């Protein structure tokens, strides 16, 4: 089967996207879930264990606290409370922590440190999967079992004021609520006043059992001006006053004869030293957790070293405190100091309930749970517990009882710790089989792409894909059989859940057909190459084609970038790699330009030696040794010396152009400091609000321009008239995209766009047109610049830098599809704009196969990093930074590949148009 | 003829390497608390001074470009002055390039500039010695097939290898190993030095191995 190389590349990338999708599904583990699912089926609580004698305490123990108030302060970092800031700005809280009846802890939040997963962790006690971040904005109802639902089922009346994420997560759970939105980040006063204004009224009433307050102001201040801003102090003292108000009101109610109430002060996540959050630096992960209740003993605690607990522990503790069942998916363990004041039998009962819940979760998620040390400890402690109950009921000697009781408690605590740990690590189980399948598909496609380089870049730009030769079909069936056998063996013997096995048979079969077909194609291409190599070479045209410095740079740059992805620091600082490469590229270009310029008008005879890309050397270096004779012949024919092309002032402008570009790049890189190590360097302020109506006005224009562009393209395809219309159409589409980007970018990022246009113009006018690089080189250069601009925009390989506000331009409320599209475009505007410029440029420089060469190169250069990266990630899956550094990058790579696929399809469409024209 | 030339080249290069080693070993005898990493700037000054001196001495002793015409004193003086200006220019150009590559603009100016000086010492000074202040000759030497003697060939190799060494030296900076030599510009200066030494070692060997294939137009 013969295909145009553009079409071939587009198909390959689409298949690759499928492979990556399967890989991602296997790589991002499904969170530990109880198989009982979302049903409201409430199981009776586990009865108290007893050895022989009957203890019929099967109900849940009575609640410890009559009322619970949770004050959640977004982005409250532990040193805001326990550090010098706390002493200075939060005197009341510090007093409570040091001398009051309270327990203080540092609760460790697991990355991603973003609000919604953290709320989920606090209420369900489970560790939300990484993919939950992506759904952060579009928070659907929380389906998993959680404390709020259990409390509602137990008839508790709950009131909520604060971040509306809660209202979305728990619709109809609160008897009274008022949500505040977190999207006006520059507002840090009203957003909190809107919560506090209800407080006085609510605290006087007594018709509620649970009050949740979620304050967003601190997080907004962090986003605007970072953790060392003076605004933080004001906000902290405001929070301190609120806490004092609540606490005194609770105390006065208790004096009226109610049982003790609980006041919880916590943060959902911290904030990094730049004020953002999402990753796993110490500042982001450590949040304070303070439990205040008159039920606790007053004891002077050491404020400097609060004990460390997990954030997930709060759910279990709250459930016990409110006497509701512990959420089924919770992996947290009860915070023991809370129950220390209770009688020993109660303490044991609470711990027993928690261990039973954890061991049930373990049974459902680990096939060989019986061998798990935590489970064994649980069995032992349950037996001991039974013995203790028997003794207790027989009312034996109190000292023996006490000693045995302490032993049982210790045993339970050990079991809890082991079980909780085992379940938390269970989240990090990888579905290796799906990962392997995905990797295999991606690698096969990449090999095929690499092998077809010589064919694809030839004059006709056609690729021969042997899909129907007989030998190939035999191999095909054999491969298919082998793969099916492997599939059956793996799936029947699999212990843990496997996504690929869970697929329908036809789908899995289809993937296997695809895999074996690809493999056979590779084999036949290889044999063909081997045969043609053993034959005497028919075209000795390229034996002396040497690689120019530029080609060397391109190859080494690509390889170096791909290899650098193996180190977490290089992933964090990937923008540095791209800036470095782009700068080097500019210098190489300037070197080439200078040499051409100065040595050609030298007029000395020796210029025949060194004028490498000139007239004499008919086959200048090409990135891929073979092929490319089309472009060359075109260029050789038209290639006049540079000094003929550009005269006088123009020449000097051409000579200055690389330096202009370098200066622009330097300016742009200090516009947005991204990454980690140098992120503290100052950059311009951002987060301005923008108008909705104006935005819609611009949308109309963008659509108009894109429409006329498409119309021109279609016209050029249908009427097949002159070449001009198509170029004009492409230019219109490019301008439409530029306008859209201008609308979506943050205001201070508009220089990025302006400079991008400037650099494109300068490169086109002074470098690419005079120097006549071939399509492959130009493609790679466009790709590099596109990547550099991706980072110039302020993006990084960290989820936190995605500018979600782009998704809200011109929208009143959150609408999923346009918001997703706009955010994706806003984020990848750099690469997309450079790609559209590439299409426009190549089609304006008339050459038949340039577009399909470019498409092929683009597909290749994008798929090399992706395929290498998934192998690297697979081998580094137990790396310390896998969740904080490598996984976000993996998501970025997947998304980038998807965009590449779209671009390649566009390329192919353009190519088809030009084919029908000719 | 050729073999003796290569031998001369080798000795000259060994002398250069020896001078760099001395610039590391000798200063501790006179200066207290001298170490390459901690008093890096001092070492940079010493090293660049020593290398420049050795290059000048070699140029006066060996006189590789025999074709230099006899010229008047004033001509010589302008030549020397021109060389100095070229050297300073190259320092500034390198400085600008480093800033364009992302070196801090205001902080660490002295460090960046000394890095520019040492890189100029490794690249511009030999060029000035060998080719004189003639830009056209420089461009000729650094384009493909433009060299006309083994001296120019070795100059090409050492210059490119010190530039590549400095370029590669930038790679460890983003890594989070927190080593003292990862601080700007130490890794780059060390990279440039290693590149220069490697170039000095490689070029005579490379020329020796390829002496059959090499045919220079003027020889």
Contacts of A96 (CB under 8 A, 6+ apart): A102, A243, A247, A290, A292
A809 phi, psi to nearest 5 deg: -70, 120
pLDDT of residue A918: 53
pLDDT band at B194 (very low <50, low <70, confident <90, very high): very high
Residue A159 host element (H or E): strand A158-163
Does pLDDT of A97 surpass 80? yes
d(CA A192, CA A126): 28
Give the other-Cβ count within 10 Å of A82's Cβ: 23
Starting at the edge strand found earlier in the chain, the sheet holding A262-267 runs A176-180, A158-163, A210-215, A68-73, A262-267, A286-293, A102-108, A307-310
Residue A99 has pLDDT above 50, yes or no: yes
DSSP string, A478-528: HHHHHHHHHHHHHHHH--S--HHHHS-HHHHHHHHHHHHHHHHHHHHHHHH
At residue A658 the predicted structure's pLDDT band, cuts being 50, 70 and 90, is: confident
pLDDT at A470: 54
> Which pLDDT does position A394 carry in this prediction?
79
Inform me whether the C-beta atom of residue B145 falls under 8 Å from chain A C-beta atoms. Answer: yes
Per the CB < 8 A criterion, the answer to whether A564 and A572 are in contact is no
Contact A580 B170 (CB under 8 A): yes
Asked if the C-beta of A101 comes within 8 angstroms of chain B's C-beta atoms, the answer is no
List Cβ neighbours of B146 (8 Å cut-off, separation of 6 or more).
Answer: A606, A609, A610, B139, B140
Q: Output b/e per residue, A315-331; b: 16+ Cβ within 10 A.
A: bbbbbbbbbbbbbbbbb
Tell me which residue in A579, A595, A602 faces B102 most closely, judged by beta carbons: A579
pLDDT of residue A427: 61
* Reported pTM: 0.66
Q: Do A599 and B143 touch (CB under 8 A)?
A: yes
Distance of alpha carbon A679 from alpha carbon A695, whole angstroms: 31
Q: Helices H, strands E: what count in chain A? A: 37, 10
Judge whether A825 and A860 are in contact, CB under 8 Å: no
- B74 inside 8 A of chain A by CB: no
Cα distance between residue B22 and residue A181, in whole Å: 68
Q: So what's the pLDDT on residue A710?
A: 78
Helix extents (H) in A394-469: 398-426, 432-451, 453-456
Q: Strands A307-310 and A158-163: what pairing?
A: unpaired
Q: Is A669 on the interface with B (CB under 8 A)?
A: yes
Task: Answer yes or no: do A569 and B146 touch at CB < 8 A.
Answer: no
Cβ contact, residue pair B174, A580, below 8 Å:
no
A706 or A298: which leads in pLDDT: A706
A48: left (phi over 0), alpha (psi -120 to 50) or beta: beta
Mean predicted confidence (pLDDT) in A859-863: 90
Tell me the C-alpha to C-alpha distance, in Å, between residue A696 and each of A214, A702, A703, A827, A828: 33, 10, 10, 20, 21
Residue A544: pLDDT band with limits 50, 70, 90? very low
Neighbours of A617 (CB within 10 A): 19
B196-216 mean pLDDT: 85
Q: Best-predicted range by mean pLDDT among A476-485, A648-657, A739-748?
A: A476-485
Query: Quick check: A896 pLDDT over 60?
Result: yes
Is residue A898 very low, low, confident or very high in pLDDT (cuts 50, 70, 90)? Answer: very high
Phi, psi of A267 (to 5 degrees): -120, 150
Confidence of residue A608 (pLDDT cuts 50, 70, 90): very low
What confidence score (pLDDT) does residue A687 get? 38
pLDDT digits (tens, 9 = 90+) for B55-99: 988 888 876 655 555 567 888 888 889 999 999 999 999 999 999
| Interface contact B172, partner A, CB < 8 A | no
Nearest to A120 by CA among A108, A107, A133: A133
Cα end-to-end span (Å), chain A:
22
Q: What mean pLDDT do residues A682-688 have? A: 43
Query: How much of chain A exceeds pLDDT 90, in percent?
Result: 12
pLDDT of the residue at B92: 93
Tell me what pLDDT residue A644 has: 57
Are residues A568 and B146, on separate chains, in Cβ contact within 8 Å? no
User: Is there a contact between B102 and A576 if contact means CB atoms under 8 Å apart?
Assistant: yes
pLDDT attached to residue A114: 78
More confident residue, A249 or A428: A249
Whether A906 has a pLDDT exceeding 80, the answer reads: yes
Query: What pLDDT shows up at residue A607?
Result: 36
Confidence tier at A32 by pLDDT (50, 70, 90) = low
Q: What is the mean pLDDT of chain A?
A: 79
**Mean pLDDT (whole number) for A321-350:** 86
Q: Is the ipTM of this complex over 0.95?
A: no
Say if A707 is an interface residue toward chain B (CB within 8 Å). no
Decide: A157 and A322 in contact? Cβ < 8 Å: no
Confidence tier at A630 by pLDDT (50, 70, 90): very low
Q: Does A662 touch chain B (CB under 8 A)?
A: yes
Residue A90 has pLDDT above 60, yes or no: yes
Domain ranges in chain B are 3-64+71-209
Look at A278-282, A321-325, A387-391 and tell me which has the smallest mean pLDDT.
A278-282
Distance, C-alpha A143 to centroid of its chain: 23
Distance from chain centroid for Cα A300: 43
CB pairs under 8 A between A and B: 60
CA–CA distance, A206 with A208 (Å, rounded to integer): 6
Minimum Cα–Cα distance from A603: chain B residue: B136
- What is the pLDDT at residue A35? 55
d(CA A351, CA A408): 10
C-beta atoms of A612 and B143 within 8 A: yes
Q: How far apart are CA A895 and CA A892, in angstroms?
A: 5
Helix (H, G, I), strand (E, B) or coil at A462: strand
Of A131, A118, A181, which Cα lies nearest the Cα of A24? A131
Question: Higher pLDDT residue, A470 or A550?
Answer: A550
CB contact under 8 A, B175 and A599: no
**What pLDDT is stored for residue A632 in this prediction?**
41
Q: Quick check: A327 pLDDT over 70?
A: yes
The whole-number pLDDT of residue A471 equals 59
Mean pLDDT of A240-249: 91
Place A287 in a pLDDT band, splitting at 50, 70 and 90: very high
Tens digit of each residue's pLDDT (9 = 90 or more) over A425-453:
666 567 788 888 899 999 999 998 888 88
Answer whether residue A179 shows pLDDT above 60.
Answer: yes
- For residue A663, pLDDT over 80 is answered with yes
Q: Is B161 or A539 the better-scoring residue by pLDDT?
A: B161
Output the pLDDT for position B200: 92
Distance of alpha carbon A351 from alpha carbon B201, whole angstroms? 72
pLDDT (0 to 100) of residue A638:
41
Q: Does A583 touch chain B (CB under 8 A)?
A: yes
Q: Is the pLDDT of residue A78 over 80?
A: yes
pLDDT at A616: 34
Percent of chain A past pLDDT 70, that is, above it, reads 80
Mean pLDDT of A508-537: 81
Q: Which residues from chain A sit within 8 angstroms of residue B139, using beta carbons?
A: 594-595, 598-599
pLDDT at A551: 87
B59 touches chain A (CB under 8 A): no
Q: Which has more confidence, A636 or A369?
A: A369
| A573 contacts in chain B (CB < 8 Å) | 174
Q: Per-residue pLDDT averaged across A385-407, rounded?
A: 82
Span A895-906, average pLDDT: 90
Mean pLDDT within A758-787:
87
pLDDT value for A634:
40
Residues of A within 8 A of B97 (CB-CB) are 587, 662
**Is a pLDDT exceeding 80 seen at residue A873?**
yes
């Amino acid at each position: 089967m013969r295909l145009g190389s553009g079409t071939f590349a587009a198909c390959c990338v689409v298949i690759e996207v499928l492979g990556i999708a399967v890989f991602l599904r296997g790589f991002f583990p499904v969170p530990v879930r109880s198989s009982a699912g979302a049903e409201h089926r409430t199981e009776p609580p586990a009865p108290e264990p007893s050895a022989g004698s009957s203890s019929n305490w099967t109900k849940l123990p009575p609640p410890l606290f009559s009322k619970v108030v949770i004050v959640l302060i977004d982005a409250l970092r532990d040193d805001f409370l326990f550090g010098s800031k706390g002493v200075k700005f939060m005197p009341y809280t510090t007093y409570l922590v040091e001398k009051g009846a309270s327990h203080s802890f540092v609760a460790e939040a697991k990355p991603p440190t973003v609000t919604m997963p953290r709320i989920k962790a606090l209420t369900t006690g489970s560790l939300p999967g990484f993919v939950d971040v992506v759904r952060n904005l579009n928070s659907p109802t929380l389906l998993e079992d959680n404390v709020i639902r259990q409390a509602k089922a137990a008839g508790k009346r709950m009131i909520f004021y604060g971040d509306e994420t809660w209202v979305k997560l728990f619709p109809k759970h609160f008897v009274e609520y008022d949500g505040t939105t977190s999207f006006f980040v520059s507002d840090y006063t009203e957003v909190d006043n809107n919560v506090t204004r209800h407080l006085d009224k609510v605290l006087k009433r007594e018709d509620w059992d649970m009050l949740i307050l979620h304050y967003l102001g601190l997080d907004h201040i962090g986003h605007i001006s970072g953790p060392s801003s003076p605004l933080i102090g004001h906000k902290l003292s405001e929070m301190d006053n609120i806490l004092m108000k609540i606490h005194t009101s609770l105390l006065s109610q208790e004096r009226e004869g109610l049982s003790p109430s609980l006041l919880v002060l916590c943060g959902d996540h911290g904030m990094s030293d730049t004020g953002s959050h999402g990753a796993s630096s110490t500042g982001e992960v450590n949040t304070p957790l303070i439990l205040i209740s008159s039920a606790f003993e007053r004891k002077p605690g050491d404020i400097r070293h609060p004990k460390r607990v997990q954030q997930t522990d709060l759910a279990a503790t709250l459930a016990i405190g409110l006497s509701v069942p512990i959420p089924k998916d919770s992996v947290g363990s009860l915070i023991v100091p809370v129950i220390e004041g209770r009688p020993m039998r109660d303490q044991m009962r609470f711990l027993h309930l928690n261990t039973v819940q954890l061991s049930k979760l373990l049974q459902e998620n680990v096939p060989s749970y019986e061998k798990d040390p935590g489970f064994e400890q649980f069995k032992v402690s349950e037996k001991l517990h039974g013995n203790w109950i028997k003794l207790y009921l027989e009312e034996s000697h109190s000292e023996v009882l006490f000693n045995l009781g302490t032993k049982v408690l210790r045993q339970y605590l050990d079991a809890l710790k082991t079980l909780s740990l085992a379940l938390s690590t269970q989240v990090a189980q990888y579905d290796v089989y799906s990962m392997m399948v995905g990797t295999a598909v991606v690698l096969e496609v990449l090999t095929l792409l690499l092998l077809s380089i010589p064919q694809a870049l030839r004059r006709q730009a056609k690729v021969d894909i042997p899909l129907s030769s007989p030998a190939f079909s035999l191999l095909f069936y054999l491969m298919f059989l082998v793969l099916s056998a492997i599939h059956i063996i793996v799936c029947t013997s699999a212990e843990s859940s496997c996504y690929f096995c869970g697929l329908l048979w036809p789908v899995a079969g289809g993937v296997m057909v695809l895999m074996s077909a690809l493999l056979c194609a590779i084999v036949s291409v290889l044999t063909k190459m081997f045969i043609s190599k053993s034959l005497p070479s028919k075209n000795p045209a390229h034996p002396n084609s040497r690689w120019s410095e530029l080609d060397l740079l391109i190859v080494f740059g690509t390889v170096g970038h791909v290899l650098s992805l193996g180190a977490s620091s290089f992933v964090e600082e990937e923008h540095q790699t791209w800036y470095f490469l782009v700068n080097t590229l500019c210098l190489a270009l300037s070197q080439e330009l200078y040499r051409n310029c100065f040595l050609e008008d030298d007029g000395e005879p020796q210029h025949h030696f060194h004028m490498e890309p000139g007239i004499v050397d008919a086959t200048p270096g090409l990135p891929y040794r073979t092929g490319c004779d089309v472009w060359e012949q075109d260029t050789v024919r038209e290639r006049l010396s540079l000094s003929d092309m550009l005269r006088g002032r123009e020449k000097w402008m051409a000579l200055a152009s690389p330096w202009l570009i370098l200066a622009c790049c330097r300016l742009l890189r200090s516009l947005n400091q991204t990454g980690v190590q140098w992120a503290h360097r100052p950059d311009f302020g951002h987060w301005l609000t923008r108008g909705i109506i104006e935005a819609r006005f611009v949308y109309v224009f963008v659509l108009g321009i894109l429409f006329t562009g498409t119309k021109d393209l279609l016209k050029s395809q249908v009427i097949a008239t002159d070449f001009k219309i198509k170029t004009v159409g492409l230019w219109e589409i490019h301008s439409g995209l530029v306008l859209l980007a201008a609308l979506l970018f943050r205001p201070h990022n508009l220089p990025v766009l302006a400079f991008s246009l400037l650099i494109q113009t300068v490169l086109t006018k002074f470098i690419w047109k005079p120097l006549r690089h071939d399509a492959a080189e130009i493609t790679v250069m466009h790709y590099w610049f596109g990547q550099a601009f991706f980072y110039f925009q302020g993006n990084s390989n960290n989820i936190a830098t995605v500018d979600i506000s782009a998704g809200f331009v011109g929208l009143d409320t959150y609408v999923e599809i346009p918001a997703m599209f706009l955010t994706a475009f806003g984020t990848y505007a750099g690469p997309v704009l450079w790609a559209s410029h590439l299409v426009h440029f190549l089609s304006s420089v008339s050459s038949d196969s340039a577009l399909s060469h470019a498409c092929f190169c683009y597909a290749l250069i994008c798929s090399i990093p992706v395929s290498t990266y998934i192998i690297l990630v697979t081998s580094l899956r137990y790396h310390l930074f896998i969740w904080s550094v490598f996984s976000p990058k993996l998501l970025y790579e997947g998304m980038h590949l998807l965009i590449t696929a779209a671009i390649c399809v566009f390329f192919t469409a353009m190519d088809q148009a030009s084919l029908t024209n000719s | 003829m050729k073999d003796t030339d290569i031998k001369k080249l080798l000795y000259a290069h060994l002398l250069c390497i020896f001078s760099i080693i001395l610039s590391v070993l000798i200063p501790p005898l006179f200066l207290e608390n001298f170490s390459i990493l901690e008093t890096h700037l001092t070492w940079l000054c010493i090293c660049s001074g020593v290398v420049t001196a050795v290059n000048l001495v070699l140029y006066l002793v060996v006189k590789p470009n025999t074709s230099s015409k006899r010229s008047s004193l004033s001509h010589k003086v302008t030549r020397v002055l021109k060389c100095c200006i070229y050297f300073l220019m190259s320092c500034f150009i390198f400085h600008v390039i480093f800033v364009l590559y992302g070196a801090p603009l205001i902080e660490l100016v002295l460090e960046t500039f000394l890095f520019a000086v040492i890189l100029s010492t490794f690249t511009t000074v030999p060029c000035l010695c060998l080719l004189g202040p003639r830009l056209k000759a420089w461009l000729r030497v650094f384009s493909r097939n433009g060299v006309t003697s083994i001296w120019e060939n070795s100059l090409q190799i050492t210059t490119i290898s010190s530039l590549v060494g400095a370029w590669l030296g930038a790679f460890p900076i983003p890594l989070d190993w927190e080593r003292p030599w990862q601080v700007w510009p130490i890794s780059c200066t060390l990279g440039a030095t290693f590149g220069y030494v490697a170039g000095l070692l490689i070029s005579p060997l490379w020329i020796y191995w390829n002496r059959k294939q090499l045919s220079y137009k003027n020889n």
